[in-house]
Amino acid sequence: MFAYFAPPNFIDNLLLKLFSPETVNYVVWPFIQIGAVVTAIAVYALYATYAERKISAFMQARLGPMRVGPWGLLQPLADAIKLLTKEDLVPDKADIYTFKFAPFISVAAAFIVFAVIPFAPDWGIITDVNIGLLFVLSISSVGVLALILAGWSSNSKYALMGALRSSAQMVSYEVSMGLSLIGALMFARTLSLSGVVSAQQSDAVWFVFYQPIGLLTFLISGIAENNRAPFDLPEAESELVAGFHTEYSGMRWSLFFMAEYAAMVVVSAIATTLYLGGWYFPGVFRLTEAQGYHTLYVIISLVVFLAKLTFLLYLYFWLRWTLPRFRYDQLMDIGWKWLIPTALVNIVMTAIAIFTVQAVDGWRGLKTIDRLLPSLNLTGTGKAIMIAFGIVGILITAGVLSTINWRARDFNLKKQRRNIRLVNLPKGKPAVAPATTEKA
């Protein structure tokens, strides 16, 4: 029965008749994988738009798309056809070549990242780069370039404002995004994404239990990085029409749209890989691989990965249709005054936790570390200590943040702050606001 789940071997044999083994392993298979992943992600992103429309409709007691196909299931395809056949407008006095090129950078930056993401073990990995995470972060920074180019070359004030906002936002949230990853990497002791997953597998725990703060910080910065609501300042409809893609139409606009959803999938995939165990799910290995069903193991792992990915994507939609948009200064506040301190506290706390676990190891017969190489494998006691540190870390982070931001409600306006100080004047004297010198 399970022979059905072994098509790769069959294809492998076929390919080996045509090419040499090296060509098959390093050229043909990667190309097949790339084609499969690009197609799958494109379809996934396409249907993410459908899911978003449906979920938003359900959350507002509506039905959503219903007309094209059963339950509107063919709506994304109809949209794609419509967008591809629309006129490709270029605004007057736009920087034509930059304008036309920017969407491709955006899409490429979103799609290249999938090269290093481990979707499943064995043939579910396209390439295992040992600096995978750095690669992901650097490529996702390139995405900002596309937005800036698009906004600048459109020769439109809305597009330019949107691009400015998005670049400021993405630059500031990238800091906390990068910092929040370090905690998880301390356990994995590698930057390779497959390495991170296998670290969680050999430890039989998802890093979210060690790193609740890390996951939260990463998700919030990831949502902000993707310019999604509630951080969708760059494309705030009520202020900026559509932000950086105001002047785009037809296919190029749909490329931006595609890139946005692909970037969401990227962030969800990295969060899954780092914190939710990637394709690892307890018991799957024991039930399939250990009993000889290798291909079944890979396919079930793939399904597990996609399920986690879809859950995080649902979280995106859920947040979008729950929260209103932040004000611009609040956005910057959250980035610099809340998320970066959180990420830093998380790093310190994780370092202290790991140090404690290492120090306690061997103390009065207490064994906390199973083995250290290649990843940090903890015994049951060690895991308990680490999870306790994670929970205590939440409270400590809360304390630190409230100490730093005890005046976060002042909105950072100098004038207002001066008046607030005046409230504590001695009694008996009327509190008089200082004469305004604005007119001078």
Partner 1 sequence: MPLVNVPKPAFMEKLKRFFMVDLLKGLRVTLKYNVGAITDKDAVAGHGIYTEQYPKVRPEVAPRFHGAPRLNMDPETHETLCIACNLCALACPEDCIDVLAMDIEITVAGKARRKKVLDEFIFDTSRCMFCALCQEACPTACLELTQEFELATYSRAGFVWNREMLEQGRETVKYEA
Q: How far is the CB of 367 from partner 1 (least distance, A)?
A: 34
CA 238 from centroid of its chain's CA atoms? 26
- Comparison of 9 and 416: residue with beta carbon closer to partner 1: 416
- Comparison of 138 and 322: residue with beta carbon closer to partner 1: 322
Residue 401 is a binding residue for partner 1 (CB under 8 A): yes
**Residues 150 and 163: beta-carbon distance below 8 Å:** yes
**Residues 91 and 249: beta-carbon distance below 8 Å:** no
- Comparison of 14 and 398: residue with beta carbon closer to partner 1: 398
Residue 66 is a binding residue for partner 1 (CB under 8 A): yes
Partners of residue 369 on adjacent β-strands: 378
Nearest to 122 by CA among 287, 305, 308, 301: 301
Selected binder of partner 1 within 323, 351, 352, 372 (CB under 8 A)? 323
Cα–Cα dist 224/335, whole Å: 9
- Indicate the angle between helix axes 212-225 and 157-188, nearest 10 degrees: 160
In the window 16-55, what residues touch partner 1 (CB under 8 A)?
A: 55
Residue 62 is a binding residue for partner 1 (CB under 8 A): yes
Q: How far is the CB of 53 from partner 1 (least distance, A)?
A: 13
Residue 322 is a binding residue for partner 1 (CB under 8 A): yes
CA 409 from centroid of its chain's CA atoms? 28
The conformation of residue 327, written as its DSSP 8-state character, comes to: P
Q: Which amino acid is at 359?
A: A
Per rule CB under 8 A, count of chain residues that contact partner 1: 30
- Comparison of 164 and 401: residue with beta carbon closer to partner 1: 401
- Comparison of 107 and 334: residue with beta carbon closer to partner 1: 334
Structure tokens at 125: 């990995």
Q: How far is the CB of 434 from partner 1 (least distance, A)?
A: 9
Residue 433 is a binding residue for partner 1 (CB under 8 A): yes
In the window 403-432, what residues touch partner 1 (CB under 8 A)?
A: 406-407, 409-410, 416, 419-420, 422-423, 431
- Please report which residue ranges of 157-244 form alpha helices under DSSP H: 157-188, 193-203, 207-210, 212-225, 237-240
Nearest to 392 by CA among 357, 345, 334, 433: 345
Residue 61 is a binding residue for partner 1 (CB under 8 A): yes
Stretch that binds partner 1, among 62-70, 80-88, 103-111, 147-155 (CB under 8 A): 62-70
Residue 398 is a binding residue for partner 1 (CB under 8 A): yes
- Comparison of 8 and 64: residue with beta carbon closer to partner 1: 64
Q: How far is the CB of 422 from partner 1 (least distance, A)?
A: 6
Cα–Cα dist 402/384, whole Å: 27
Cα–Cα dist 21/36, whole Å: 21
In the window 260-319, what residues touch partner 1 (CB under 8 A)?
A: 318-319
> Sign of the C-alpha dihedral, residues 92, 98, 103, 106?
negative
User: Around Cβ 415, how many Cβ atoms within 10 Å?
Assistant: 11
Report the interface residues with partner 1, using CB under 8 A.
55, 57-63, 66, 318-319, 321-323, 397-398, 401-402, 406-407, 409-410, 416, 419-420, 422-423, 431, 433, 436
